Every structure is written in C-alpha cells, then in structure tokens.
Amino acid sequence: MIPKGTYNLLYTSEKETFGLSVIVELKQIEGLMKKGQNVWEGFVTVNYDGEYTGEDLSHCVDARLAAERIGLKLKKEIKDKCKAEGKSFRIKKEEIK
C-alpha cells in the first residue's frame, strides 16, 4: 500500500508555461465501518481544478497508480483541447512520485 502519490506535468502552450499537479492521498475512514468496507479512502486534489470527483477512489490501495491514471487522463484532455483550438502543446517535464 502506498498512501500518497503525486503526478506533476510542466507543459507549454503558445510559448506560455503551465503546470498540472495531481495529488492523491489515502486516509483512514473515521467512525463505524460497514462489514466489508475498505479501511482507506482516496482523496484527490488537482491544482487548477480544486477537488477532482471524476473517479471513485473508495477501493484504492495504491495512491501513486491512481495519481498517474488521473494525471494521464487530464493530460489527454488538455492536449485534445489545445489541438481543437489550434494551439501548440509541448511537454517540458513529467514526473510521478
């Protein structure tokens, strides 16, 4: 089990530098638990979008893999948006911790 994972992306679009940071943390559930319920629950924070609710992380046990999966999904969305608007998109640095 990995309790914390981050995905950082530094990219340029039209000669401007932007950053994307996805942080996934696994925290223990407080209070009474139901039978068969996971002890850990995942919480996602994205730097430009605040709380991310696109995926259910109630059964997550590896925060690094979850951060990578969400980060790659958001990178694809940004890339597709830039392509649709006719803007350039270049990756300067991509890091998974």
Instruction: Choose the weakest-confidence range: 5-14, 16-25, 29-38, 46-55.
Output: 46-55
Mean pLDDT of 39-61: 81
Q: How many residues does the chain have?
A: 97
> Three-state DSSP class for 66?
helix
pLDDT over 80 (residue 71): yes
Answer whether 25's CB lies under 8 Å from 2's CB: no
C-alpha to C-alpha distance for 76 and 47, rounded to whole angstroms? 16
According to the model, what pLDDT value does residue 32 have? 81
Q: Domain segments of the chain: what residues?
A: 4-96
Average pLDDT, the chain: 90
48 Ramachandran zone, left/alpha/beta (phi>0; psi -120 to 50): alpha
Mean pLDDT across the stretch 28-42?
83
Q: Note the pTM of the prediction, 2 decimals.
A: 0.87
